[in-house]
């Protein structure tokens, strides 16, 4: 029975916030669940969100077990918790650094920064140096590119590059599949769509062209192909 208890892991909690706490740079809440108070560390931006409104919260949990006890890290969304787990799988990236990365960037922004090798963005997180940023980009680029392609438009929609006023999710997914079928890599596709969405694509007269309308998927495809062909030239 003791062996079974020692292997139990907490993955999800729902309860009322009893109080907020801070120990040095670490912040979190005590969450009361069924008569038990759990001390959970969370990102400062999430703590700020929990200061207002409702008093009952749901957190997805990652539990770190050590000889002297365990630590709980909480996230309002499962996707963010899963991203945290991916980050700490990289050599030299511990829970505090992973939390700092998720504090600095929304999940979609972080995926985009890693896949595109945006070291400047990654180094803005507390404790992340150039060497660690390079390691994140090298070790996670392929894994996260596959992850974002399974979640159509995640890194484009979530960070505000594409929104519902520019292109619907279903059309964006169709556009990505079409370009992939033409042999383009996932990173090339996202960069092309980003360029078109920002008006950076160049038209037939070598002038920036307007962003295509929300319903004109063919125009998005043509503009993306023009940008890709210019990049290859």
The overall longest dimension of the chain from CA atoms, in Å, is 75
Distances (CA, A) of 77 to 11, 80, 115, 191: 12, 5, 21, 27
Query: Do 43 and 103 share a structural domain?
Result: no
In 3D space, the residue among 58, 60, 71, 63 whose CA is nearest the CA of residue 8 turns out to be 63
Strand partners, 62: 73
User: Where in the sequence is the domain holding 121, given as residue range(s)?
Assistant: 78-151
What's the domain count of the chain?
3
Of 19, 52, 75, the residue at which a domain comes to its end is 75
Copy the structure tokens of residue 39: 């001390």
Predicted local distance difference test score (pLDDT) of residue 162: 57
Query: Do 97 and 115 share a structural domain?
Result: yes
Q: Whole-prediction pTM value?
A: 0.63
Query: Do 193 and 133 share a structural domain?
Result: no
Chain centre to alpha carbon of residue 225: 27
Query: Do 105 and 49 share a structural domain?
Result: no
Of 102, 118, 151, the residue at which a domain comes to its end is 151
Residues ≥6 apart with Cβ < 8 Å to 64: 70, 71, 72, 73, 95
DSSP 3-state of 36:
strand
Predicted local distance difference test score (pLDDT) of residue 200: 59
Of 131, 151, 171, the residue at which a domain comes to its end is 151
Query: Do 169 and 107 share a structural domain?
Result: no
Q: List, run by run, the mean pLDDT of 10-residue segments along the chain (233 residues).
A: 58 91 91 93 87 78 87 91 93 94 88 85 94 92 66 50 60 80 78 78 50 79 86 65
CATH number of residue 91's parent domain: 1.10.150.20
């Amino acid at each position: 029975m003791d062996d079974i208890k020692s292997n139990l892991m907490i993955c999800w909690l729902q309860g009322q916030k009893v109080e907020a706490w801070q120990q040095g740079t670490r912040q979190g809440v005590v969450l009361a669940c069924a008569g038990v108070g759990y001390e959970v560390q969370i990102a400062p931006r999430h703590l700020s969100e929990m200061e207002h409104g409702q008093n009952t919260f749901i957190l997805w949990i990652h539990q770190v077990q050590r000889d002297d006890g365990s630590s709980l890290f909480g996230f309002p969304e499962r996707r963010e918790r899963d991203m945290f787990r991916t980050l700490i799988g990289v050599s030299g990236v511990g829970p505090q650094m992973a939390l700092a990365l998720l504090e600095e960037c929304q999940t979609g922004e972080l995926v985009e920064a890693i896949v595109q090798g945006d070291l400047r963005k990654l180094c803005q997180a507390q404790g992340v140096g150039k060497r660690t940023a390079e390691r994140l980009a090298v070790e996670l680029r392929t894994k996260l590119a596959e992850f974002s392609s399974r979640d159509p438009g995640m890194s484009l929609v979530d960070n505000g590059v594409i929104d519902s006023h520019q292109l619907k999710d279903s059309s964006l997914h169709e556009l990505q599949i079409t370009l992939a079928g033409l042999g383009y890599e996932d990173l090339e596709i996202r960069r092309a769509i980003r360029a078109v969405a920002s008006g950076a694509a160049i038209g037939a007269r070598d002038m920036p062209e307007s962003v295509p309308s929300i319903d004109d998927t063919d125009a998005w495809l043509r503009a993306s192909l023009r940008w890709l062909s210019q990049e290859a030239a």
